[in-house]
Amino acid sequence: MRKIYFIINPISGGIDKQLLPTLIQQSLNKSVFEPTIIFTEYPGHAKALAQQAIALNIDVVVAVGGDGTINEIASQLVNTSVALGIIPNGSGNGLARHLGIPLDSAKAIQHLNYATSTSIDVGKINDHFFFCTSGIGFDAHVSSQFARLTKRGFWGYFKTSIKSYLKYKPATYQLNIDGKSISSTAFLITFANASQFGNNAHIAPLAHISDGLLDVCIMRPFRIYELLWVGVKLFSKTIHKTDFVKIVTAKNIVLTRLQAGPAHFDGEPVEMPATITISILPKALKVLV
């Protein structure tokens, strides 16, 4: 019997999760797993529960929520023997989509019954781990605005993005990418471990989550009449074939900007200093896929 710990964020994605414990009990193979089910009660509780699970020698910790919840839990499991499971219940579900985990809760639970453990890379931006994407520029600005909303979901993110675009001004950045220095005026710079932001918006369509490399995606500023075309290319997994984005792979990056400001890790906004270091930890997290 494998001990499995379900940590449920009750507010992620604006989805009611009160029936999830019953669904877990019905769908989980009890001859394989011995479940414990806990709802988080306050910000940071998922982190404490993940630490508790490690101390209790739990085999699998399942994050039930969005990419932010996954990040909070997975960050505690890095370089441990505990595997991460995912039941995607967020706004974008970028990591689950990249890994091919079903978005339907019942199917995601059933998926755990026959899933196998694999090791994936972990990104790090200053002191924060990320598993999908991290970055600065426009997406960090939108993440900061989106975090203030009471209603989440795709349309909330879409409306926030459009409003932010009309006021946002690109900046110039200095980057040292594996020892090579470049200067670039960019709309955004994304460090991609997985291929997408979420909601199938693929900023790095060729990113591989266990190749020991980050895809550094530098998006140039663009005119408002190009906005729809950028969106089409993001959602059709072809942005890398355009001149909107330059993508290089790297292990270590140092980014310098004029002043401190917002950044994000897996969509979670954070204020960071003018100089930021980004790196990759090869195959540092076990995940059930």
198/94 Cα distance (integer angstroms): 4
What is the pLDDT, as a whole number, of residue 91? 84
Q: Give kind and range of the element (H or E) at residue 162.
A: helix 154-167
| Burial 170-187, CB ≥16 within 10 A → b, else e | bbebebebeeeeeeeebb
What is the pLDDT, as a whole number, of residue 242? 97
Residue with tokens 């499995």: 4
pLDDT tens-digit map of 59-88: 999 999 999 999 999 999 999 999 999 999
Q: Which two tokens stand for residue 243?
A: 């001149």
pLDDT tens-digit map of 100-145: 999 999 999 999 999 999 999 999 999 999 999 999 999 898 877 7
DSSP state of 86: E
Q: Which two tokens stand for residue 203?
A: 């900023």
251/17 Cα distance (integer angstroms): 39
Is pTM beyond 0.85? Reply is yes
pLDDT tens-digit map of 211-227: 999 999 999 999 989 99
243/233 Cα distance (integer angstroms): 11
**Around Cβ 206, how many Cβ atoms within 10 Å?**
13
Going by pLDDT thresholds of 50, 70 and 90, the confidence category of residue 163 is confident
DSSP state of 12: G
47/51 Cα distance (integer angstroms): 6
Q: How many residues does the chain have?
A: 289
150-156 average pLDDT score: 61
Q: Which domains does the chain have, with CATH numbers?
A: 2-115 (3.40.50.10330), 128-281 (2.60.200.40)
- Cα 56 from chain centroid (whole Å): 27
Residues β-bridged to residue 271: 262
223-250 average pLDDT score: 96
